[in-house]
Amino acid sequence: MGALAAAIAIGLAALGAGLGIGLIGGRTVEGIARQPELRGPLTITMLMAIALVEAIPIMAVVIAFMVQGR
């Protein structure tokens, strides 16, 4: 039962991160299309935001393994 709960937790974290990264990327492309001269700063901000969003599923994997190990 613990393995199933861990799999669901990891799956939901990955789904949420995927949606978040998709929204971040889409909004960045939209911003670049509106103001091409801000391409550099927008890209840097996008990459930092993606890194922060991607940290959440990594933490979810670690927590799921810790809970499953009990």
CATH number for the domain including 26?
Answer: 1.20.20.10
Distance CA(62)–CA(48), nearest Å, equals 22
Are the CB atoms for 6 and 60 separated by under 8 Å? Answer: no
Are the CB atoms for 14 and 50 separated by under 8 Å? Answer: no
Tokens 């789904």 — which residue? 15
pLDDT mean over 48-62: 95
Reply yes or no on whether the pLDDT at 69 is more than 80. no
Are the CB atoms for 42 and 32 separated by under 8 Å? Answer: yes
Q: Which of 3-7, 32-36, 53-57 has the lowest mean pLDDT?
A: 3-7
One-letter amino acid of 24: I
pLDDT mean over 13-29: 97
Which domain range does residue 50 map to? 1-68
Query: What pTM did the predictor assign?
Result: 0.85
How many structural domains is the chain composed of?
1
